Structure 1
Amino acid sequence: MSTVAVNSKPHYLILDGLRGVAAIMVVVFHIFEAHANSHLDQIINHGYLAVDFFFLLSGFVIGYAYDDRWHKLTLKEFFKRRLIRLQPMVIMGMIIGAVCFYYQDSVLWPQISDVPVWKMLLVMVIGFTLIPLTPSQEIRGWGEMHPLNGPGWSLFFEYIANIMYALFVRKFSKTVLAILVILSGAALVHLALTAPAGDVVGGWSINAEQLKVGFSRMMFPFFGGLLLSRMAKITYIKNAFLWCSLLLIVVLAMPRIGGADNLWLNGIYESVTIICIFPLIVYLGASGTVHGAASTKVCKFFGDISYPIYITHYPLIYIYTAWVANNKVSIQDGAPYAILLLVSAIVIAYACLKLYDEPVRKWLGKKFPNKNKVTV
């Protein structure tokens, strides 16, 4: 979820592009999810693991950008940079969620039609801050901490990870950080193997069970990415973007492992993916170089839309899911509308980027100048 532009340091354009590939896979996953009875029978099955990939990428890039700069970087400056980078699109995502909210009335969420406008707008304003709502305050019926824009939960944990990094984890030696990563990895494996559904899905509600899931999903990838940034000896990999993209698509699209009778097998698959395959993809991506104008444009485009599409697409998914549920639409009959949704999500993301996010961040950057010229 992060973009790095640091003077005197090379820019990992391939990592930007991979983040965009993962974001597109999230949208596709959510489209297929609308037609599935559960993740056991869903096509494009493991798209939700893209969130764990985002956390790992974020930890890697933040470590790369900031680890050697704290001698001249204050906590205030760090948090200011993170807010400028992330918060404008958080606000836009909530606004889009509010605009789309009443179009999502359906058999899935029958209470939507009874929600007064003032309450919906209040939830929107609270969402601007990413302060989570408890299940009793939620207005949809799914228990989400951000019911107007569900993916806001991952930004909530992204901020927690950033706070932890800035306050104390940045001071950890490699050994202490490795211990934290090993313990976090063990907690993640325990979650994956013992979860009732045999997966790491969750983290979007404010209750003990979901907070456990959210912290487990955030801790290993983020701080594992940080450790990777400190320890990896970058080499050169030819065609890295192509091979990394294919590997990422395969692991996110992989069918359910083990079925209903052997849920633990899927837990093993997800543990191996997050702990081994995602760090490998990031390492290979960081070791690659983009050659040619066309490849550069592709990586840049995917990188540019990655965060905007992730944080703005879900209100469209709510509408699509409601339509599918109300009319019992099959994936075959829904395919043209699904394609339209995907294209619309990309167009909206790009429009938000160019017409809102970049101008706002540029204005904020001038109003609150970055003394150290570090932007992530």
Structure 2
Amino acid sequence: MELVREKRYEVLDGLRGVAAIGVMLMHYSENTGHRLFTHADIAVDLFFILSGFVLMHSYRSKLLLGLSAREYVKKRIIRLYPMFAISMAIGIPALIAAALIGLANYPLRSIIVASLDNLLFLPYLGDHGVANMVSTAAHLPVEKYTVGEIFPANPSAWSLFFEMVASIALLVLIRLQRRDLIKLIIVSAILLFGTGVLLGVENKNAIPVFFGAGWGTRNFFAGFIRVAYGFSMGVLIYSLHETQTPLKFGKVLSVIVRSDIALYLLFAIAIAFPFGIKGLYPMAVIFFVAPLMVYCGANLQPTGRVGARLAHFLGWLSYPIYCLHSPIGRLVFMYFPGSEHRPGQAIALSVALTIAISVIATRLLEEPVRAYLTRKFSSRKRAGLKAEPVV
């Protein structure tokens, strides 16, 4: 009997890769005075929307037809954890090095506790600080440290915790009627805006509405609202796509976005936009532009063989780049000679090393480990099927 291959949304894979690269460049340039992709934190909201869409596509039918919750969660852990573990193997020594040279005020005991929590995929709710992407010669004052990162050895991994929470929530979301799903999205959107206003009042930079919550101790609980909105929106978009329900605004965007390359460029421009307009700009992207991009991207095909290869490569690299870039960049900026005076060179070296290590780690470590764990712990054979998408 011939096995049926699942449809793969290749353009959405490519879009995820563009988003991951934008996040990497934003973090690498955050302390250089010339920040790149200013609004790349919006990419995390795109990741959550994509997760809802792709997990619905990959697992809805299987869960409704008998795949157990235990088996499903096991598959999600196997998919997410190996690369995360690799990132922690780099990130823990990097955090210790930062503390030893005075670029972090974490005592050794706190590093141990935080690392153990994080290795269990749990957040560490501490109040210590670290200087990210800074040279040993920069002498950054303690008051400018990033305080309270819930994954201090790998700051970007905060969203992976919420990704696992959302993955478990899918077990309930797949059984909701569309009207109930819409109610959930409306409520979470209102709460997201409300917490954004409250966090904006507290924010020292006086941003009226702050949507970048979830990464730190002080805004940790708002992360649940952020992922609830994004993930449930992705679930709804998949439902609309599956039933071929037309969207008026979707038609408008589809006139502008006629190809995969146009979609990638539009999102790159969206996260590179230099003005926040008092929080209104990220709000517009999160609530309108990003969902419509996913809706339109699901209906696009790669432009020829080159477009398909580009989409595959970007999607394949997106998760390792996202996982590995923070600890790698932290090490490069700490020890690259003169990185405070030549930030462009430090950024270029960090990007090159991140891509190279991502390729090597994925090929030689992550993929073999995932294949082994799948053979050992999965109760169903996957031969002949495409690998589960990274979400």
**Fold similarity call, TM over 0.5:** yes
- Which residue does 2:216 correspond to in 1? 205
Q: Name the SS for the 2:226 alignment partner.
A: helix
Q: Name the SS for the 2:105 alignment partner.
A: helix
Asked if 2 retains the 8 angstrom alpha-carbon contact of 1:151 and 1:314, the reply is yes
Query: For residues 71 and 328 of structure 1, do their structure 2 counterparts lie closer, same or farther at Cα, with a shift above 3 Å needed?
Result: closer
Kindly provide the CA deviation profile for residues 167-226 of structure 1, in whole angstroms up to 9, marking residues without a partner as x. x222111110110011111222233445233431231234xx412331232111111001
Correspondence list, 1:1-376, <5 A: 7-36=4-33, 42-69=35-62, 70-105=64-99, 109-111=103-105, 115=108, 120-121=111-112, 123-135=114-126, 140=130, 142-166=147-171, 168-194=172-198, 195=200, 196=203, 197=207, 198-206=209-217, 209-232=218-241, 233=244, 240-258=259-277, 263=278, 267-320=279-332, 322=334, 329-330=340-341, 333-371=342-380, 373=382, 375-376=388-389
Asked if 2 retains the 8 angstrom alpha-carbon contact of 1:18 and 1:244, the reply is yes
Name the amino acid aligned to 2:40.
G
Asked if 1 retains the 8 angstrom alpha-carbon contact of 2:260 and 2:303, the reply is no
Kindly provide the CA deviation profile for residues 275-310 of structure 1, in whole angstroms up to 9, marking residues without a partner as x. 111111111211111243322221111111100110
Asked if 2 retains the 8 angstrom alpha-carbon contact of 1:127 and 1:146, the reply is yes
Q: Name the SS for the 1:171 alignment partner.
A: coil
Identity of aligned residues (%): 28
Can you give the 5+ residue segments of structure 1 that lack an aligned partner in the other structure? 1-5
Quote how far apart the aligned CAs of 1:106 are. Answer: 8.3
Quote how far apart the aligned CAs of 1:43 are. Answer: 4.1
Quote how far apart the aligned CAs of 1:102 are. Answer: 3.6
Compute the TM-score of the two structures, normalised by the length of structure 1.
0.84
Name the amino acid aligned to 1:63.
M
Compute the TM-score of the two structures, normalised by the length of structure 2.
0.81
Kindly provide the CA deviation profile for residues 71-96 of structure 1, in whole angstroms up to 9, marking residues without a partner as x. 22110111011011101111111111
Quote how far apart the aligned CAs of 1:139 are. Answer: 7.5
The separation in 2 between residues aligned to 1:110 and 1:271, in whole angstroms, is 33
Higher helix share: 1
Kindly provide the CA deviation profile for residues 233-255 of structure 1, in whole angstroms up to 9, marking residues without a partner as x. 28997853101101110111110
The separation in 1 between residues aligned to 2:212 and 2:61, in whole angstroms, is 35
The separation in 2 between residues aligned to 1:363 and 1:108, in whole angstroms, is 41
